[in-house]
């Protein structure tokens, strides 16, 4: 384990050096990211000014859903940025060199390019969520703990999906469109899934688990999630991780190197 941690840190340090080589590019990236977040927040604010309640949630509660989405989305992008660069490894044959290294290929293709530029937005999202949680008040330590655990649970589901994308990349060499589809679908988690009518709400909960990832943490925090649904959330994340790993192994069994 110490060895893998050292390797991940080495990859992360190298990725940080690459990211800060162009200061103008880094500033433009952060500016664009925060501008998009600010515009989305303004849209949500003006929307709530007109409706007062969104699916029964107040302005502060709705903003907490929005910030929770951004926390999970930003952390997953920060950790798994290398997935976005996986296709060139396959089509160029570089993946062969990754496989012969004496470390698990996950270390390189999943967390081999941690994006330091996402750290600042992530900290801002976490700070905003903590501020709103404090304003809501009257929350027990147990509710806050369930919120944190379900956020981590959402990250496990995001991990499973990124592993699935890697498996599909090996089989079909298609990564870019798949990851963009994932990003577009998860944006439906900007708001509580309660705003959607059936059967869309059930689809976004049990088939495309946006509700489990993005909405369940806030619902648990507000005391609106029954214990059995918390159990379902953890079982779903564990199952999705197991399935994605099996698909990865199946893809690796079918992989043909560039020299074959």
Instruction: Give the pLDDT score at 68.
Output: 93
Distance (Å) of CA 41 to CA 37, 191, 202: 6, 11, 26
HSE-CB at 197 with a 13 A cutoff on CA atoms is: 0
Structure confidence at residue 1 as a pLDDT band (50, 70, 90): low
Instruction: Give the pLDDT score at 244.
Output: 92
* For range 148-175, the mean pLDDT: 89
* For range 211-228, the mean pLDDT: 91
Report the DSSP beta bridge partners of residue 57: 54
In the chain, what are the domain boundaries? 2-254
Q: In angstroms, rounded to a whole number, what is the distance separating the alpha carbons of residues 206 and 215?
A: 13
Tokens of 76: 């997953």
Q: Can you say whether the dihedral through the CA atoms of 153, 177, 78, 243 is positive or negative? A: positive
List, for residues 60-107, the tens digit of each pLDDT value. Answer: 888 899 999 999 998 988 888 888 888 888 888 788 888 887 777 877
Report helix, strand or coil for 104: coil
* For range 166-188, the mean pLDDT: 80
Nearest to 85 by CA among 116, 122, 110, 117: 110
Pick the range with the lowest mean pLDDT from 155-159, 189-193, 255-259. Answer: 255-259
Instruction: Give the pLDDT score at 16.
Output: 67
Residues 109 and 89: beta-carbon distance below 8 Å: yes
List, for residues 107-142, the tens digit of each pLDDT value. Answer: 788 877 777 777 888 899 999 999 888 888 778 889
Task: Count other C-beta atoms under 10 Å from residue 70's C-beta.
Answer: 23
Q: In angstroms, rounded to a whole number, what is the distance separating the alpha carbons of residues 216 and 228?
A: 12
Residues 54 and 62: beta-carbon distance below 8 Å: yes
Question: 118-123: which pairs have CB atoms within 8 A and are 24 or more residues apart?
Answer: 118/33, 118/74, 118/75, 118/77, 118/78, 118/81, 119/78, 120/30, 121/30, 121/33, 121/34, 121/37, 121/70, 121/74, 122/71, 122/74, 122/75, 122/78
Pick 214 or 119 by higher pLDDT: 214
Instruction: Give the pLDDT score at 146.
Output: 94
Q: In angstroms, rounded to a whole number, what is the distance separating the alpha carbons of residues 100 and 259?
A: 14
Is the per-residue pLDDT at 13 higher than 80?
Answer: no
Is the per-residue pLDDT at 49 higher than 80?
Answer: no
Q: At what angle do helices 141-172 and 59-79 cross, to 10 degrees?
A: 40
Structure confidence at residue 258 as a pLDDT band (50, 70, 90): low
Report the DSSP beta bridge partners of residue 54: 57
Average pLDDT for the chain: 83
DSSP string covering 54-75: BTTB-HHHHHHHHHHHHHHHHH
Residues 16 and 113: beta-carbon distance below 8 Å: no
Instruction: Give the pLDDT score at 87.
Output: 81
List, for residues 226-249, the tens digit of each pLDDT value. Answer: 899 999 999 999 999 999 999 988
């Amino acid at each position: 384990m110490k060895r893998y941690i050292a390797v991940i840190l080495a990859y992360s340090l190298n990725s940080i050096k690459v990211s800060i080589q162009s200061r103008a590019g880094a500033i433009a990236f952060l500016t664009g990211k925060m501008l998009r977040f600010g515009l989305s927040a303004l849209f949500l604010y003006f929307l709530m000014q007109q409706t007062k309640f969104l699916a029964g949630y107040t302005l502060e509660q709705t903003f907490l859903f929005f910030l929770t989405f951004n926390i999970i989305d930003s952390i997953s992008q920060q950790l798994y940025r290398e997935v976005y660069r996986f296709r060139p490894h396959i089509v160029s044959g570089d993946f062969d060199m990754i496989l012969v290294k004496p470390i698990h290929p996950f270390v390189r293709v999943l967390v081999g390019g941690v994006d330091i530029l996402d750290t600042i937005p992530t900290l801002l999202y976490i700070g905003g969520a903590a501020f709103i949680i404090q304003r809501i008040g009257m929350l027990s330590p147990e509710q806050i703990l369930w919120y944190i655990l379900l956020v981590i649970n959402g990250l496990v589901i995001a991990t499973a999906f990124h592993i699935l994308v890697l498996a599909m990349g090996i089989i079909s060499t298609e990564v870019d469109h798949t990851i963009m589809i994932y990003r577009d679908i998860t944006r439906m988690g900007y708001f509580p899934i309660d705003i959607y009518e059936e059967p869309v709400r059930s689809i976004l909960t049990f088939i495309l688990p946006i509700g489990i990832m993005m909405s369940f943490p806030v619902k648990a925090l507000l005391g609106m999630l029954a214990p059995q649904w918390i159990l379902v959330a953890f079982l779903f994340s564990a199952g999705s991780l197991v399935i994605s790993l099996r698909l990865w192994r199946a893809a690796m069994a079918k992989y043909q190197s560039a020299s074959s």
